[in-house]
């Protein structure tokens, strides 16, 4: 008995591992397509539902989709209303797993094909092409999933041999509506423990197929699983921002509301499910009075799938699908109400001025979808570049500022911006480290490496702003003053560098949208900076030779010019990194 229980736990682990592996492979095969699908298909609630349904059907994990949505709301890539509609669709999409298990896991022994499929997966894993290796991961994950399911079915104890245990379990089914609540709580707790509604659904199907529990009790467990699955999003949102927490709460509110109306109408809802199942598949009505699951074995003791078992499995899968579909059809019209409700419960009490320099896009906790997480990192890098450009404005003002007190204020701001750039670089790097630690595709790996380089260049831009403040501070200490001509030239130089900033940010934004085709604009901006630097240096040297310029003042002047030119170098490096990895060839 102990060995059977350990085998059952191992089979459950294989099922979960196979599901995660299959989901990971699917994400890597379809990563860019999923990103484009998400951005293009959320303009209306109905499109949002289709988006959630489509993505979850592909990656076979509503938890991954929900965590991804929470992350994207945190990142500002989705509004709260859009996220709610996507989560509604994800709840429908997750029911695909139940149908796969019902059709392939019980009616046919898919595990017979699992081992040959694993051989195919191994062969594909030896390929040098990234896509084939990702497909191999998908195939092996699929095989492990159904091997695990097959082992779970064969390793569950035969309670017919221990009638006292079977009687104990069935005794919990004799308390009327109280039994419904008991099994609902059981389904919720089991999902919280396993952190996978698909695994809990598979166990429920097995228990129903073995005749351990009645059809109505299995339905109550499924309702509980829909509440338990919301814990994943809440865990992800616990370290996220206000929008992320609201999204997770909306997911909980959606499922809890559905369970409430399903419980209120429970007998009628089950009759409807039974009628639909019998009508579509031509099987016995699993919700009919007196319906029982008949368990038979052949002469060799092998289980034989009966019509009553098939009817129960299809009926439970149908309940899962119709519950989420009906719930979505009801609540899709009330998305603004749900949005107002969660905003009222989770109030934003923060001081907006404190948000100026915080990370906006990568605080949503666990990286459940690494192939999609780089969207957040890239958006944060663009935000980093915009913050860095703001620091340039203070450098320009500091150059022409004659009042010592006002200069010190500007110098302090430049020092602060340097500290901010250090902190943002570190936090983005930590996020990229977490993404890199996951199993990601080669294409994503190349993008992550390029992002490491880019944030290093942006941090260097912050250093240059602080260096300019130190040069100007030394100038003031030695009581040197730039004449009107020098200030005018430096003003022109800072405008030229600011234009290069604009070009760099435009290229970053184009790469993020997948629309970067060339970076000639960056090379032109760099040439303008270099040509202007050369002109200013030659003019200054001529002024020194003619006795029109003070040598020490000119040293400070040229130090500022060189530091500004160095900033141009950092910016062209960013565009070159984009050119190598993110460029879209026509």
Helix (H, G, I), strand (E, B) or coil at 229: coil
d(CA 286, CA 276): 10
The two structure tokens encoding residue 476: 């003031």
Helices 404-437 and 370-400 sit at what angle, rounded to 10 degrees? 170
176: pLDDT strictly greater than 70: yes
Do 556 and 477 lie in a common domain?
Answer: yes
Helix (H) or strand (E) holding 318: helix 307-331
Query: Using 50, 70 and 90 to split pLDDT, how confident is the model at 525?
Result: very high
Tokens 């062969």 — which residue? 123
Number of domains in the chain: 2
365-416 pLDDT, tens per residue?
Answer: 444 566 667 777 888 899 899 988 988 888 889 988 888 889 889 888 888 8
- Assess if residue 275 is contained within a domain: yes
* Rg, the chain, Cα only: 31
- Assess if residue 434 is contained within a domain: yes
Question: Are 212 and 162 contacting, i.e. CB atoms less than 8 angstroms apart?
Answer: no
Do 271 and 395 lie in a common domain?
Answer: no
The pLDDT value given to residue 356: 46
- Assess if residue 351 is contained within a domain: no
Do 157 and 302 lie in a common domain?
Answer: yes
Q: What is the CATH number of the domain that holds 523?
A: 1.20.58.220
Buried/exposed code over 56-68 (b: 16+ C-beta within 10 A; e: otherwise): bbbbbbbbbbbbb
Ranking 235-244, 274-283, 464-473, 552-561 by mean pLDDT, the lowest is: 235-244
Mean pLDDT over the full length of the chain: 81
Percent of the chain whose pLDDT exceeds 90: 28
The pLDDT value given to residue 520: 93
Domain, as residue range, for 337: 2-345
Do 332 and 378 lie in a common domain?
Answer: no
- Assess if residue 363 is contained within a domain: no
Do 319 and 385 lie in a common domain?
Answer: no
CA atoms within 13 A on the CB side of 127: 16
Do 17 and 115 lie in a common domain?
Answer: yes
User: Does residue 264 or residue 207 have the better pLDDT?
Assistant: 264
Do 176 and 234 lie in a common domain?
Answer: yes
CB under 8 Å to 555, separation ≥6 — which residues?
Answer: none
- Assess if residue 519 is contained within a domain: yes
- Assess if residue 350 is contained within a domain: no
- For range 220-246, the mean pLDDT: 77
d(CA 263, CA 268): 10
138: pLDDT strictly greater than 80: no
49: pLDDT strictly greater than 50: yes
- Assess if residue 356 is contained within a domain: no
CA angle, residues 181, 85, 44, in degrees to nearest 5: 155
319-369 pLDDT, tens per residue?
Answer: 999 999 999 999 999 999 998 998 888 886 554 444 345 566 675 444 456
Picking from 328, 345, 362, the residue at the C-terminal end of a domain is 345
| Phi, psi of 455, rounded to the nearest 5 degrees | -70, -25
């Amino acid at each position: 008995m102990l060995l059977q229980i350990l085998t059952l736990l191992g089979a459950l682990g294989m099922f979960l591992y196979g599901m995660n592996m299959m989901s990971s492979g699917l994400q890597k095969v379809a990563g860019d397509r999923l990103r484009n699908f998400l951005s293009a298909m959320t303009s209306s609630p109905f499109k949002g539902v289709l988006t959630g349904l489509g993505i979850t059907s592909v990656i076979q994990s509503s938890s991954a989709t929900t965590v991804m949505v929470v992350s994207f709301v945190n990142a500002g890539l989705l509004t709260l209303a859009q996220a709610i509609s996507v989560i509604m669709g994800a709840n429908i999409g997750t029911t695909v797993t139940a149908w796969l298990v019902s059709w392939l896991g019980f009616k046919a022994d898919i595990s017979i094909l699992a081992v040959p499929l694993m051989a195919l997966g191994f062969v594909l894993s030896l390929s040098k092409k990234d896509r084939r290796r990702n497909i191999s991961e998908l195939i092996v994950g699929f095989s492990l999933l159904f091997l695990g399911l097959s082992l779970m079915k064969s390793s569950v104890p035969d309670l017919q041999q221990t009638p006292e245990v079977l009687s104990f379990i069935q005794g919990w089914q004799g308390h009327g509506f109280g039994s419904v609540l008991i099994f609902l709580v059981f389904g919720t707790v089991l999902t919280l423990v396993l952190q996978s509604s698909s695994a809990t659904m598979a166990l429920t199907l097995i228990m129903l197929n073995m005749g351990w529990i009645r059809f109505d009790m299995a339905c109550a467990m499924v309702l509980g699983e829909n509440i338990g699955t919301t814990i994943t999003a809440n865990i992800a949102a616990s370290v996220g921002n206000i929008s992320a927490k609201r999204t997770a709460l909306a997911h909980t509110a959606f499922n809890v509301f559905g369970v409430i109306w399903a419980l209120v109408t429970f007998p009628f809802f089950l009759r409807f499910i039974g009628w639909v199942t019998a009508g579509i598949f031509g099987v016995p009505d699993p919700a009919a009075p007196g319906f029982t699951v008949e368990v038979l074995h052949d002469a060799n003791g092998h289980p034989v799938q009966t019509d009553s078992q098939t009817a129960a499995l299809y009926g439970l899968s149908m309940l899962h699908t119709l519950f989420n579909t009906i719930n979505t059809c009801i609540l899709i019209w009330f998305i603004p109400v749900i949005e107002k409700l969660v905003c009222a419960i989770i109030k934003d009490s923060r001081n907006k001025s404190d948000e100026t320099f915080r990370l906006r896009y990568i605080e949503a906790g666990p990286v459940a979808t690494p192939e999609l997480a780089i969207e957040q990192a890239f958006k944060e890098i663009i935000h980093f570049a915009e913050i860095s450009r703001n620091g340039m404005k203070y450098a320009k003002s500091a150059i022409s500022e004659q009042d010592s007190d006002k200069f010190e204020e500007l110098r302090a701001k430049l020092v602060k911006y340097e500290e901010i750039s250090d902190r943002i670089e570190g936090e983005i790097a930590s996020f990229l480290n977490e993404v890199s630690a996951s199993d990601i595709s080669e294409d994503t790996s190349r993008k992550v490496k390029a992002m490491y380089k880019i944030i290093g260049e942006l941090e260097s831009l912050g250093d240059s702003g602080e260096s300019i403040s130190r040069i100007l501070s030394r100038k003031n200490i030695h009581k040197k003053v730039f004449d009107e001509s020098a200030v005018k030239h430096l003003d022109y130089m800072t405008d030229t560098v600011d234009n290069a900033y604009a070009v760099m940010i435009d290229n970053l934004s184009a790469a993020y949208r997948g629309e970067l085709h060339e970076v000639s604009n960056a090379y032109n901006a760099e040439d303008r900076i270099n040509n202007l630097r050369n002109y200013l240096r030659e003019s200054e040297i001529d002024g020194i030779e003619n006795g029109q310029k003070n040598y020490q003042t000119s040293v400070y002047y040229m130090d500022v010019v060189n530091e500004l030119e160095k900033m141009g170098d950092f910016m062209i490096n960013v565009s070159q990194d984009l050119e190598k990895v993110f460029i879209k060839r026509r």
